[in-house]
Amino acid sequence: MTVLLTVVIFLPLVAAGLLLSVRTLDGRAAIVVWIATSVVELALIGWMWWRFDPGSGPRGVVDGLAYEVDLRWIPTVDAGYHVGVDGLSLPLLALTAVVFLACAVHSLREPQRPRSFAALFLFLQTASLGTFAALDLILFFVFFDLTIVGMYFVIAGWGHGNARRSALKFFLYTFLGSLALLVGFIGLFLGGEERTFDMVALAADPPLEDAPLAAGLVLLAIGLGLAVKTPLFPFHTWLPDAHTDAPPAGSAVLAAILLKLGTYGFVRIAMPILPGAWQRWAMVIVVVGVISVLWGAFVALAQTDVKRMIAYTSVNHMGYVLLGLGAAGLLTADADARTVATVGAMYQMVSHGLLTGALFLLTGWLWSRGGTYAFDRWGGLAGPAPLFAAAFAVAAFGSLGLPGLSGFVAEFQVFTGALEAAPVATVVAVLGILVTAGLFLLALQRLFAGDPVVPSARPDADPQGPAPVGAGITTAVRPRAATRVGDLRAHETASIVPLLALAVVLGLLPRVLLDVLEPAAAAVVDLVSR
């Protein structure tokens, strides 16, 4: 079974190569291949989850990794193809499989170069899975950078609006961040006695423990690289443009998966490998998290564009993650409280992936029916599109932390665990929930209440298809035209509803995920505390 994880990582890449080499496949067949590959991926990861034993203490953080493969790659610097699964990575591998499958189903009617579109997303899936499974810093960096390349071409090739400018801005910001990350990795290599890039070896014998200044600088470099990817304030300015101009599937993957590469890097690399520096700078990390929570919420509240609003809520939600992880480094609280905060941060990664992924796929409905995300172009959609309204409402309520949905479980644990360690910062961060609730309720009122209003480029526009390329949005059309927009189609429903259903399951039955996360989170807290 040691090859199973390698198969999971590289199967999408093999399928992408097949799509590009077999030119006789038409567009719909290419998307079907993407769907079939994603189904197989989900089944394999489900098998891995079923066979995984999370209850062995520090399993997967220092030793005892499941599905581990460790092969020599660059022996002169002790960098290897080292991959494995533990309680930190397995939930994110599963999230990746679920979100990419949802995006594949949602793209069944992709009109522009669907074969290349499917191949690019399969390449992106391999890069994402490889990053979450990597246990070598150089391997992590390679996969991490490949996600940047893949998303650049998704935005530039299939986006709308000022897509090329947004894609270039995304690439430059995140690539510069990855260079800072590489500098930090080299610092870890030079600071360790073994001179290795292996994460397991570095966590077992942390480098730079006797050099606090050097450890702080290395943590700063790694933190900058991961903060840009997450993104955290003030490194988030690439995010709204990239989201707004990306295609719906691209926005969903960017928010649900690629942002988690940053937060995952904190818990996988920064915390266990630089425990002393994480302790010394934990309060700064908490403050950055709280600022991101409030900044993201207040700026989202001011948006007049649905997609930009959702993009800024990602800054808000990733701030909660950093608050929880920062609290884990504050030794003023007991280990149990810090473990709860860490578990809440990891739970938030999964919850945000499901809910925000669904929200961005739902925004595709707005673009395909009216060619705009502007709030003032829409209204009264609860009547003509009740299924769309219901799905959007569930995702919005989950994002604002309504009990019974996954967002509540995540935020409750973050606040419960962080309250003892950083009470003032935690109380301030709670204000972010109030602002988030207000902005989502306001969005629901704008989109679904009142008389039906939808944009119309021309009277004969196809109500079930995308707006004509280049057509301007000229008028707001009242009830008769509004009834022509149509509700969610079958493939849209099949892609979005399962994400929301999983958010409900994790809200009502949190042990499904907690049983996997808690042992690994406790091990990370133990490593930070030493």
**Per the structure block, which two tokens stand in for 4?**
């199973």
Asked whether the bond before 12 is cis by omega within 30 degrees of 0, the reply is no
Confidence of residue 335 (pLDDT cuts 50, 70, 90): confident
Q: Are 177 and 229 in contact (CB under 8 A)?
A: yes
Q: Are 65 and 85 in contact (CB under 8 A)?
A: yes
Exposure letters 116-139 (e unless 16+ CB within 10 A, then b): bbbbbbbbbbbbbbbbbbbbbbbb
Burial label, 6 (beta-carbon count in 10 A; 0-12, 13-18, 19+): middle
Q: How many CB atoms lie within 10 A of CB 302?
A: 10
CA-closest candidate to residue 15, choices 163, 141, 126: 126
Task: Give the pLDDT score at 454.
Answer: 67
- Whether the model clears a pTM of 0.85, i.e. scores above it, the answer is yes
- Helix 490-508 crosses helix 90-106 at what angle (to 10 degrees)? 160
Q: Are 47 and 481 in contact (CB under 8 A)?
A: no
Q: How many CB atoms lie within 10 A of CB 529?
A: 13
pLDDT in tens, 115-140: 889 999 999 999 999 999 999 999 99
Task: Give the pLDDT score at 374.
Answer: 83
Task: Give the pLDDT score at 99.
Answer: 96
Q: Are 443 and 380 in contact (CB under 8 A)?
A: no
Which of these ranges, 6-10, 127-131, 332-336, 390-394, has the smallest mean pLDDT?
332-336
Task: Give the pLDDT score at 255.
Answer: 92
User: Across the strands, what pairs with 430?
Assistant: none
Helix (H, G, I), strand (E, B) or coil at 81: strand
Q: Are 41 and 122 in contact (CB under 8 A)?
A: no
Helix (H, G, I), strand (E, B) or coil at 55: coil
Which of these ranges, 299-308, 396-405, 463-472, has the smallest mean pLDDT?
463-472
Task: Give the pLDDT score at 60.
Answer: 42
Mean pLDDT score of the chain: 87
Instruction: Enumerate residues 6+ apart whose C-beta is below 8 A from 193.
Output: 205, 207
Q: Are 330 and 282 in contact (CB under 8 A)?
A: yes
Q: Are 436 and 313 in contact (CB under 8 A)?
A: yes
Q: What share of the chain is helix, strand, coil (3-state, %, to 5)?
A: 70, 5, 25
Alpha helices in 159-253 (DSSP H): 163-191, 199-204, 212-229, 239-245, 248-253
In angstroms, rounded to a whole number, what is the distance separating the alpha carbons of residues 354 and 372? Answer: 24
Say how many CA atoms lie within 13 Å of 120 toward its Cβ: 21
CA distances from 31 to 40, 247, 256 (A): 14, 15, 20
CA distances from 59 to 64, 89, 380, 462, 521 (A): 5, 12, 52, 55, 10
One-letter amino acid at 383 equals: G
Q: Are 359 and 406 in contact (CB under 8 A)?
A: no
Which of these ranges, 13-17, 51-55, 260-264, has the smallest mean pLDDT?
51-55
Q: How many CB atoms lie within 10 A of CB 46?
A: 12
In angstroms, rounded to a whole number, what is the distance separating the alpha carbons of residues 219 and 230? Answer: 16
Task: Give the pLDDT score at 39.
Answer: 96
pLDDT in tens, 395-422: 999 998 889 999 999 999 999 999 988 8
Q: How many CB atoms lie within 10 A of CB 164?
A: 14
Task: Give the pLDDT score at 461.
Answer: 39
Q: Are 340 and 418 in contact (CB under 8 A)?
A: no
Which of these ranges, 37-41, 182-186, 189-193, 222-226, has the smallest mean pLDDT?
189-193
CA-closest candidate to residue 178, choices 221, 232, 235, 133: 221
Strands 66-74 and 79-85: antiparallel
Q: Are 368 and 341 in contact (CB under 8 A)?
A: no
In the 3-class helix/strand/coil scheme, how is 261-327 assigned residue by residue? HHHHHHHHHHHHHCHHHHHHCHHHHHHHHHHHHHHHHHHHHCCCEHHHHHHHHHHHHHHHHHHHHHH
Q: What angle do CA 264, 167, 182 make, to 5 degrees?
A: 40
CA-closest candidate to residue 514, choices 64, 56, 87: 87
User: Across the strands, what pairs with 2?
Assistant: none
- Helix 335-370 crosses helix 386-399 at what angle (to 10 degrees)? 150
Confidence of residue 208 (pLDDT cuts 50, 70, 90): confident
